[in-house]
Amino acid sequence: MVVSMTACGNSEAGGSKDSAKNNGNGDEPYTVTMVLNGSTQPDEERIEQKINEILEPELNANLDIVVLPWASASQQLQLMLLGDEKIDVFYTQATNAVQYMNAGQIVDMSELIDKYGTNIKQIYGEDIAKINQVEGFVYGVPNQIERGSIPAIFMRKDLVEKYNIDTTQIKEPKDLESVFETVKAGEPDMTMLYSSSENDAPATRLFRGDTLSDNNYLGVLMDQTNSTKLENFFATDWFKDTTTMLHNWYQKGYISQDAGTNTENWRTVCKAGNLFSLFFSYHPGTPVEFESSTGYDFEIVPFYNEPIINSSSYNGVTFSIAQNSENPEKTMEVLDYIYGSSEIMNLLNWGEQDKDYVIEDADNGIINFPEGITSDNAGYNLNLGWELPNQFIAYKWTGSDPQLWEKWKNLTVLQRAPKQ
């Protein structure tokens, strides 16, 4: 049963089961507990039942999904890994996964990938399937999601048109100063450029190098395509020039004066009508994502012609297997199966056809809510494709580019990233 944990002792969050009866080696199917971050759905149990109707006859296994609330997910996951609660496989990121590895809380997945990772190896090839490793210890497998994006400026299209902004004259970030000056004169109470204290500053959005999964930026590759030289990010000319430009904009009032303490998400600020622009990563899905989350259309100007591919392209979202899994082999088998099952991916992300969604465009795999159903009253609409194993084999939501997945594949082309 999918649950949203509110306390570490919640018995429905995958409490320990009798391993002798639930190890997948006898007649009883093994239940794989998968931990995600997100929001609980009213009809989660119904969806799990549908998923298990597929898994049980195929693999003698069931899937139990534990959904941890965003605000407390990392703390609750740590408690699960430290305690005796049932946990097999979980969504994480490289920085955390390496900590779990050093603490002995996850297993080396190398041999499991060799034996059970048929779909994963078919998607990535042997090297990329095992790219998330430290000294030969494979701490997680990458999700098949969008990767490779281009730093860009996103500007509210209605204001670009209102003030006759010629976007063809914007070639690099410094060209925005005259744009901000024009719009600010007409919209004096509006923030020209978003910035936050929550790891979402303009400088980090513009950075094109590789942080090697270190959110502190202590040692980076400034040009990972051509050099493996490790540099002090804060001593580079790029950092000096970029922060000087941003400080100048801050002094002119283009950036919010409380940027250093602001924790408000940019979507909230934009929906309130108080934001003109932000630096963000452009990819084929962002126009629809921005419009649906803010209610505004955006004029997007990329600063480069080619996408960024770095270590976080493959370890930004991964699945790791817990050390206290009672059956890591069966867990890996189930995980790999999901990578290759569009039916399970659609159930996990969108729910049940004709109850939670309907096919709007069968040829292009576009779906929508049934009549009378919205995100407010839907029984199931997890809508976290990027967090799940293989988004590219699932349906796309209404409004998406019909060729979205193909464009993503053409953009990323699965380039090899530097190993940890």
- The answer to whether the beta carbons of residues 201 and 146 sit under 8 Å apart is no
* Paired tokens of 281: 């990563």
223 pLDDT higher than 70: yes
How confident is the model at residue 385, as a pLDDT?
86
CA-CA-CA-CA torsion sign (259, 265, 267, 273) = negative
What is the number of residues in the chain? 420
58 pLDDT higher than 60: yes
Beta strands in 14-86 (DSSP E): 30-37, 61-68
CATH topology identical between 28-146+314-414 and 150-308: yes
Q: Does domain 28-146+314-414 have CATH number 3.40.190.10?
A: yes
Selection from 84, 73, 83 nearest residue 35 by Cα: 73
Spell out the domain ranges in the chain. 28-146+314-414, 150-308
Which three-class secondary structure state does DSSP give residue 149?
strand
Mutual angle of helices 177-186 and 237-251, in 10-degree steps: 20
Of the chain, the percentage scoring pLDDT greater than 70 comes to 85
Mutual angle of helices 44-59 and 328-339, in 10-degree steps: 110
- CA 312 vs CA 129, 134, 416: distances in Å: 14, 14, 11
Average pLDDT score over residue span 368-378? 91
Is the overall model pTM greater than 0.95, yes or no? no
Confidence of residue 212 (pLDDT cuts 50, 70, 90): confident
Confidence of residue 15 (pLDDT cuts 50, 70, 90): very low
How confident is the model at residue 292, as a pLDDT?
67
Confidence of residue 374 (pLDDT cuts 50, 70, 90): confident
394 pLDDT higher than 90: yes
CA-CA-CA-CA torsion sign (405, 406, 412, 415) = positive
Alpha-carbon distance 331 to 24, whole Å? Answer: 10
Confidence of residue 410 (pLDDT cuts 50, 70, 90): low
Q: State the Cα angle at 15 between 120 and 328, rounded to 5°.
A: 30
The string of DSSP codes covering 228-280 is --EE-GGGSHHHHHHHHHHHHHHHTTSB-TTTTT----HHHHHHTT-EEEEEE
150-308: CATH number: 3.40.190.10
Q: Tell me the residue type at 399.
A: G
Q: Which tens digit of pLDDT belongs to each residue from 242-269?
A: 999 999 999 999 998 877 776 677 777 8
Alpha-carbon distance 321 to 391, whole Å? Answer: 20
97 pLDDT higher than 90: no
146 pLDDT higher than 80: no
| CB-facing half-sphere around the CA of 208: CA atoms within 13 A | 16
220 pLDDT higher than 90: no
Alpha-carbon distance 405 to 394, whole Å? Answer: 9
The CA dihedral of 141, 306, 159, 246, to the nearest 10 degrees, is 80
* Antiparallel, parallel or unpaired: β 61-68 and 30-37: parallel
Name residue 92's beta-bridge partners. Answer: 318
Q: Which tens digit of pLDDT belongs to each residue from 322-370?
A: 999 999 999 999 999 999 999 999 999 999 999 999 999 999 999 999 9
Please enumerate in sequence order all residues whose Cβ is within 8 A of that of 324, keeping only pairs 6 or more positions apart, or say none.
Answer: 81, 84, 87, 105
2 pLDDT higher than 70: no
Selection from 150, 253, 283 nearest residue 193 by Cα: 253
How confident is the model at residue 13, as a pLDDT?
33
Alpha-carbon distance 331 to 258, whole Å? Answer: 46
